[in-house]
Amino acid sequence: MQVRFGVVLISVITVLVGAVTVLGLLLGDSIITGEGLFADVIVILTRIPFADLAAVFLRLSVLMIAVTMLAGMANLIFVHFGRLRQRELRLSRKLFSFIFVLVYFGTIAVYINSRTNGLRLLDDVQVALESAFAGLLFFALVYGAVRIMHREVTLYRLLFVLTLLLVLLAALPFPGLGLISRVYNWVMAVPVEAGAKGILLGIALATLLTGVRVLVGQDRSYGQ
């Protein structure tokens, strides 16, 4: 199997930077205070400033995040300029992209001119739009719940709908729902809590394993 030099180099850099950052974050406080369980072990390693190096790497990553914001803004503009140039695209779509470009530069101009007005624009337009979409989301969820049984009736889907009905019934402000409330409380405290923790544990294990394998260079998804 041929392995490219560039990939090996990137892997080595990633492994080194990752290992130093983990050590710096894990042992950082001990290095500074000289306390903690690993204080004795760290005496041997005091000449390697893991915490300082980790802090440098973290500061660099914050800088990179800021740079990617610029990349994102450029990406938006390229996408819409590209659409304006497409001959086969419908006029309505081109008009949308044209309005987008105008609003984009207009918002930047407003923000540069007056920061308060820029933030007001965000509050008055974006927050209002997001609220409208939150309402739409409610209908999409209800419509989706209705659709579940249309596609295919399985035991798990039936259980899902029954649980959904139970939750909705328990939320009703009517008296005499004592039994339903008790069942609801039990369902939320035992099966829902256990299921949620199970799913989160699975995700946490997969995340940890992926992290360890990236750190030891076994998963080179960033290079090849």
Partner 1 sequence: MDTITQLSVFVILLVIFFLNIVISILRRRQAVNLRPIEAYEAIPDLTGLSVEAARPLHIAYGNAAAGADTTLLALATSEFINQTARQTTIGDAPTIVTANETVAIPLGVDSMRRAYESQNATDQFNEVNVRWYPGGENSLAAAAGMMALQSDENIGAHLLVGSFGAEIALVADIAHRQDRPLLAGSDRLEGQAVAYALADYPLIGDEIFQAGSYIGNNDRFKRRTAILDTLRWLTALAILGVMIFTLTATGGA
104: which residues sit within 8 A by CB, 6+ positions away?
A: 76, 77, 80
Q: Indicate whether 134 belongs to the interface with partner 1 (CB under 8 A).
A: yes
Write down the least CB distance from residue 174 to partner 1, Å: 26
Query: Coil, strand or helix: which one is 37?
Result: coil
Q: Indicate whether 8 belongs to the interface with partner 1 (CB under 8 A).
A: no
Q: Indicate whether 91 belongs to the interface with partner 1 (CB under 8 A).
A: no
18: which residues sit within 8 A by CB, 6+ positions away?
A: 214, 215
Residue among 106 and 202 whose Cβ is closer to partner 1: 202
Q: Indicate whether 72 belongs to the interface with partner 1 (CB under 8 A).
A: yes
Please, which of residues 143-162 interact with partner 1 by CB under 8 A?
143-145, 147-148, 151, 157, 160
For residue 46, the 8-state DSSP code is: T
* Cβ atoms of residues 31 and 55 within 8 Å: no
Q: Which residue has the tokens 């005496």?
A: 43
Single-letter amino acid code for the residue at 180? I
Cα 193–Cα 196–Cα 197 angle in degrees, nearest 5: 85
Q: Indicate whether 136 belongs to the interface with partner 1 (CB under 8 A).
A: yes
Write down the least CB distance from residue 10 to partner 1, Å: 11
Identified binder of partner 1 from the candidate list 95, 172, 189, 201, rule CB under 8 A: 201
Q: Indicate whether 191 belongs to the interface with partner 1 (CB under 8 A).
A: no
- Give the Cα separation of 170 and 222 in Å (integer): 48
Q: Indicate whether 172 belongs to the interface with partner 1 (CB under 8 A).
A: no
Cα 112–Cα 117–Cα 123 angle in degrees, nearest 5: 120
List residues near partner 1 by CB under 8 A. Answer: 22, 25-30, 36-38, 61-62, 64-65, 68-69, 71-72, 75-76, 78-79, 82, 93, 126-127, 129-130, 133-134, 136-137, 140-141, 143-145, 147-148, 151, 157, 160, 196, 198-203, 205-214, 216, 218-219, 221-222, 224
